[in-house]
Amino acid sequence: MPKIKTNKTLSKRISKITNSGKVVRRKTLSQHLVHRKTARTIAESGADVQVSRTESKKIKKLIPYKK
């Protein structure tokens, strides 16, 4: 069987896949135009968020070798 191609853009957006199979990504709004944002918005935007179960099934098919 041939290897499956990894979707590179999705691979860069996903932080990690945990051992239990949960997909983790970074929150948005962390980099662009930071000087206008409140300190609270900047602090909250750096956090990791778990992707929903239905989306994680699709993501795992697109990035089969990410650990």
Residue 45: the pLDDT is 87
Strand duo 48-50 + 14-17: pairing: unpaired
Domain boundaries, the chain: 8-62
CB atoms < 10 A from the CB of 59, how many? Answer: 20
Tens-binned pLDDT, residue by residue, of the chain (67 aa):
899 999 999 999 999 999 999 999 998 888 888 899 999 988 888 889 999 999 999 999 999 998 7
Task: Let me know if 47 is exposed, middle or buried by CB neighbors in 10 A (0-12, 13-18, 19+).
Answer: exposed
Closest CA to 56 of 66, 47, 46: 66
For domain 8-62, say whether CATH 3.40.50.300 is its number. Answer: no
* pTM for the structure as a whole: 0.76
